[in-house]
Amino acid sequence: MSELTQLKLEKIDEYRFRIPRSYKPGMRVPGIIYTDEKLLKDIRQDKALEQVANVAFLPGIVGASLAMPDIHWGYGFCIGGVAATDIAEGGVISPGGVGYDINCGVRLLKTGLQYEQIKDKIEDLVYALFSDVPSGVGSKGDIRVSAKEEREILVKGAKWAVEKGFGIREDLECTEEYGAIEGADPKAVSDRAYERGKAQSGTLGSGNHFLEIQVIDQLYDSRLSDSFGLELGQITVMIHSGSRGLGYQICDEYVRSMVRCLEKYKINLPDRQLACAPVKSPEGESYLAAMKCAANYAWANRQCLMHLTRKAFERVLSQPWEKLGMYLVYDVAHNIAKIEKHNVGGQEKKLCVHRKGATRAVPAGHAALPHMYKETGQPVIIPGDMGRNSYLLVGTEKSSETFFSTCHGAGRLKSRTAATRSIDANALLKDLKSKGIIVKASGRDTLVEEAPQVYKDVNEVVDVVHNAGISKRVCRMRPLGVIKG
């Protein structure tokens, strides 16, 4: 029996389990996993719990090393992990706590369309989107920028795209950080990262990234759904993408360079993949400035993708997107580290909050919210797999116990290699078609690697965070047409 299997978790309640500090000498805080007994069996299949314990070694970590129900093994941190460090107490920032796809995130568009109105146009829309939106490994878009413009994107984020005519001011109000986080410094980004990013604005990317036409099939809270302008049978569009090659290169370079910081700052960790530096150090500040550049690039990218989506709908349905009611509900990051103020032990502290495969979920009244969401709480977008559902949730007061964080998706069950070995692409396409789901992918390998059966059931994941009270269900969407990278 492996050490991992022997790990005895302490059950706090129906939806929380604890890894005690005594599990490993050197843990500064306990680990807390949000899950239920059923999902816990899947979580135990890889090393994610061990990674939760390892993160508890980080200097300055406060509260607990947290994990959401969609956790699975990742680089250093598990995917689905949350950790906050106290900057004044030598708290660190770790590139592994953000991940390689910096500001991978999701945006949700509503439309004024009902399924019955356009059910015969879904296939046309899918083919138009697949034609107009570049996708796949190394894909390049028609939105080309000069070196000077690329540096502007890294500072301005989605605002750059809106200034170029790829959206409207209201889009920025419905984007986390208004589409650009302050403090980005293009000088912290290498020439190689610039080279990888310069032709990828407005591209979907590969892997689990997607563009999906959906229909709302269940409402959970009529007051909130009315506030968001959502109803049963309504068509929505979800976009899931990140910072592409630029973000990957930034992470790769800083992960390798920060290994040297472990000795320099006398940091002892059980896993070198957790390489980190104090936030208030030259290395920490440089990574944070570069990470913010990648985050802003990702917000600009999703803004451009939404512009291409609106244009495809216009072309197929022969109406301007405004008349089609294609307005942004919200855009959220789920791979990012942010400097935030939180209450810790009755005191307000400035923390570096790592969310890797986790979504910010602030409650009604929070200062970070735009005026239209002050009374509802932050919209939280949770994508599922291409054969099941996706969700819109809102943040709650109880999410203060997770530094205002919740899950980010379904979470993988099988590796991409295992999926390729065990799933037949033709059978998968036939099954999805039988469910009324049209799929276009840039490659058959991507299709198989992202099959519904390689993921946990997002319905079960959302049940946990809703029942635990760290976010609240608003509505559920099911896929009609999917574009995969």
Q: What is the pLDDT of residue 4?
A: 47
What secondary structure does DSSP assign to 426-437, as a single string?
HHHHHHHHHTT-
Residue range(s) defining the domain that contains residue 417: 3-484
Helix (H) or strand (E) holding 255: helix 244-264
Q: What is the pLDDT of residues 134-153, one digit of tens each?
A: 765 455 556 667 778 888 99
pLDDT in tens, 176-187: 999 999 999 999
For helices 147-156 and 282-317, the axis angle rounded to 10 degrees is 100
CB-CB contact of 411 with 69 (8 Å) = yes
Helix H or strand E segment including 45: none
Q: For 207-262, how does the pLDDT look when each residue is reduced to its tens digit (9 = 90+)?
A: 678 899 999 999 999 999 999 999 999 999 999 999 989 999 999 999 999 999 99
**Cα–Cα distance between 94 and 254 in angstroms, integer?**
9
Residue 411: Cβ-neighbour burial (10 angstroms; 0-12, 13-18, 19+) = buried
Q: What is the model's pLDDT at position 2?
A: 42
For residue 451, what pLDDT is reported? 85
The pLDDT, as a whole number, for residue 3 is 46
Is residue 416 over pLDDT 80?
Answer: no
Direct distance between the N- and C-terminal alpha carbons of the chain, in angstroms, rounded to an integer: 39
The whole-number pLDDT of residue 476 equals: 98
Which CATH number is 456's domain given?
3.90.1860.10
Cβ partners under 8 Å of residue 65, min gap 6: 19, 29, 30, 31, 32, 52, 53, 55, 56, 58, 81, 83
**pTM across the whole model:** 0.94
Whether the predicted pLDDT of 204 surpasses 60? yes
Cross-strand bridge partners of residue 356: 81, 335
Instruction: Look at residue 1 in the predicted model and tell me its pLDDT.
Output: 34
Q: E-assigned strands of 255-389?
A: 277-278, 327-333, 335-344, 347-356, 359-360, 379-382
pLDDT of 419: 75
Confidence of residue 205 (pLDDT cuts 50, 70, 90): low
pLDDT at 207: 65
pLDDT digits (tens, 9 = 90+) for 427-462: 888 888 888 899 988 777 778 888 888 888 999 999
13 confidence band (pLDDT: 50, 70, 90)? very high
The pLDDT of 374-394, averaged and rounded, is 95
Q: For 304-335, b where at least 16 C-beta lie within 10 A, e where not — what string?
A: bbbbbbbbbbbebbeeebeebebbbbbbbbbb
Is the pLDDT confidence value at 5 over 50? no
Q: Give the model confidence (pLDDT) of 270-326 as tens digits.
A: 999 999 999 999 999 999 999 999 999 999 999 999 999 999 999 999 999 999 999
**Structure tokens belonging to residue 186:** 């293009």
CA atoms within 13 A on the CB side of 395: 27
Which band of pLDDT confidence, cut at 50, 70 and 90, is reported for residue 396?
very high
159-174 average pLDDT score: 96
Residue 342 a catalytic site member: no
How many domains would you assign to the chain?
1
More confident residue, 302 or 3: 302
* pLDDT mean across residues, the chain: 93
Q: State the pLDDT at residue 424.
A: 85
Residue 187: the pLDDT is 96
> Could you say which of 209, 307, 408, 466 is catalytic?
408
pLDDT of residue 195: 85
- Between the CA of residue 266 and those of 257, 261, 275, what are the distances in Å? 15, 8, 12
